[in-house]
Structure 1
Amino acid sequence: MVDAPEPVSLREGEWLERNRARWDEVVPLHVASPMYDHTALRDGRGRLSTPAEEAELADYAPDGWSGLRVLHLQCHFGGDTLVLAQRGAEVVGLDFSWPAIEQARAEAAELGLTGRARFVHANLYDARHALPDPEGFDIVYTTWGTITWLPDVAEWARIIAWFLKPGGRLYFADSHPAAWSLDDPESGEGLPQLRYPYFSDGRPEVLDEQGDYADGDAVLENTVTWEWAHPTSEVLTALLDAGLRLDFFHEHDRTPWRMFQALVEVEPGLWGWPAQRWMPLGFSLGATRTAS
């Protein structure tokens, strides 16, 4: 029998402080990184992270984004938030990193989007208190590098359902849980190898890693993070239990960053396997809050 993990508070504790310190520190690195280049956004032609997102989200706004109310959870410094605002949506971005929120607000002002893009500083689990919104949102959007930082996806799903109006829709994309069971070999060469359990039973991996996915040469002070593996079944069950209906679930063989050293840039800004499509690297899903 596997012992149950020690419970963690969703609103305080070492996990939250460690992770927030890491994300606070990397904000200026990401602002300066080519991976987060906002040139197109500043030119009025911003795009989301992957073509798959663009294609799948087209169905969410068949008549255009104008007038749609969007909540972007774990928005980092607001690149995608501002893309959607630039297209006409009224968007609220929420993130737990104060430097990220400051940067997002500065970019919104620079782009003249403060009327359509608002940024709120809060831990995701405090979202209901930080942003009480009884009218609800048309869309909740959250993508890439999100739930691995969260200990409880059942509460995450309940928060999403709470913010969606009846008939409102979730769009979620992230790295695939199966891929997170792998890691680069110690030699740094060859395909990644099995290292982490797919079924973590709620236990965090407490990692101490130098560098950053957007800058491998970075020398960081905050190297310790707490991360959780959430199997696909856990994510889907959480959303269904929260009262959402699954509309689609797609798996993808590429991600918008170099997840493993063996990956190659298969098209600008997208990384995939060098030959055979070995296993999924990402997934995306859409879900609708039922009328009840």
Structure 2
Amino acid sequence: MDPFKLSNRQNWDQRADIHALDRTGFYAIDAFLAGEDTLYPIEKAEIGDVTGLKLAHFQCHIGVDTLCLARRGAAVTGIDFSPRAIAQAQALAGRADLAAKFVEGEVYDAPALIGNDFDVVFTSWGTICWLDDINAWAAAVAGVLKPGGRLYFADTHPAIEQHEQIEGSIRLHYDWRSAKERPERFDSATTYTGDETPLAVAYAFEWMRGVSDVIGALLKAGMRLDFLHEHELLPFKLFPMMVPAGDRLFKLPPGVPRAPLALSLQATRIR
């Protein structure tokens, strides 16, 4: 494993254990275990009926969303590169008494690891920024879907990822594309949920890319774009100035120019 992926996996292994405790309530695990559907409003409005469908959740982390989809009637398989995330997901499935399969591995290897007859691939919030090859990701999405199967994707808008809050302003700060061998390094002593537990590996690497890179990769892989939506909301505070918008979402504060913060899409495998 290359040093970027190795440090990212070590970082996410520790985050998984912290997130499973959910001391700040960011993942709403108590609400989930009480029977609440804790998918965010964006996915709830767009995912559609998954009853009876075979669904693969790419980069499933600790499995909360995977299990929400299982509760909606899907036969779910989650895949994640973090062994600690997979262990926590399996434990959560047991606590929730929900049937689910969780597999450790790179999403690039998903067709070989989980098969090629899925009706749906689901992936959301903090996913493709961790991947160094968007074309391999799209090929894996298409590779696990049967013809006519669909991808549902929601994540931070690639254009806003280039920005940072600097001296009270949102400013362009990063190139819009990262070379595979030169990702951006981000240092953080703690995870994003507000839990103050210090991270042993307190840095991670991310890859920037454009919307056209994502769409182009899916088209190249034999997918048809069904819809593409932009949203002024995110499920986390990308910038410190962001304010609560209700339903566990955040937005830019009044007086700041409006901008698309999130992007969602559906694509169908046509070949």
TM-score (norm 2): 0.94
Q: Where does structure 1 lack aligned partners over 5 or more consecutive residues?
A: 1-11
The separation in 2 between residues aligned to 1:218 and 1:264, in whole angstroms, is 24
Q: Counterpart in 1 of 2:118? A: 137
Q: Counterpart in 2 of 1:286? A: 266
Q: Counterpart in 1 of 2:138? A: 157
Q: Counterpart in 2 of 1:34? A: 25
Which aligned pairs between 1:252-271 and structure 2 lie closer than 5 A? Answer: 252-271=231-250
Provide the secondary structure at the position in 2 that maps to 1:258: coil
Q: Counterpart in 2 of 1:121? A: 104
Q: Counterpart in 2 of 1:5? A: none
Q: Counterpart in 2 of 1:90? A: 75
Post-superposition shift, 1:216? 6.3
The separation in 1 between residues aligned to 2:197 and 2:247, in whole angstroms, is 23
Q: Counterpart in 2 of 1:51? A: 41
Residue identity opposite 1:282 in structure 2: A
The separation in 2 between residues aligned to 1:208 and 1:191, in whole angstroms, is 20
Contact 1:94 1:124 in 2 (8 A): yes
Post-superposition shift, 1:279? 1.2
Post-superposition shift, 1:277? 5.1
Q: Residues 122-150 of structure 1: CA distance to partner in whole angstroms, max 9, x if unpaired?
A: 1222223322x24x111000000000000
Of 126, 147, 154, which aligns to 1:173? 154
Post-superposition shift, 1:201? 4.7
Contact 2:243 2:250 in 1 (8 A): yes
The separation in 1 between residues aligned to 2:237 and 2:224, in whole angstroms, is 32
Q: Residues 170-209 of structure 1: CA distance to partner in whole angstroms, max 9, x if unpaired?
A: 0000001111111121x4xx23222111233543112333
Contact 1:24 1:97 in 2 (8 A): yes
Q: Counterpart in 2 of 1:212? A: 191
Provide the secondary structure at the position in 1 that maps to 2:178: coil
Residue identity opposite 2:143 in structure 1: W
Q: Where does structure 2 lack aligned partners over 5 or more consecutive residues?
A: none
Once the two structures are overlaid, the 10-residue window that deviates more, 18-27 or 268-277, is 268-277
Q: Residues 188-247 of structure 1: CA distance to partner in whole angstroms, max 9, x if unpaired?
A: xx2322211123354311233322211263421101211100110000000000000000
Aligned length: 267
Query: Max radius of gyration: which structure?
Result: 1
Post-superposition shift, 1:15? 1.1
Which aligned pairs between 1:174-253 and structure 2 lie closer than 5 A? Answer: 174-185=155-166, 187=167, 190-202=168-180, 203-215=182-194, 217-253=196-232
Post-superposition shift, 1:272? 0.3
Percent of aligned positions that are identical: 42
Q: Counterpart in 2 of 1:148? A: 129
Residue identity opposite 1:99 in structure 2: R
Q: Residues 50-84 of structure 1: CA distance to partner in whole angstroms, max 9, x if unpaired?
A: 212111112xx2xxx33110000000000000001
The separation in 2 between residues aligned to 1:164 and 1:234, in whole angstroms, is 20
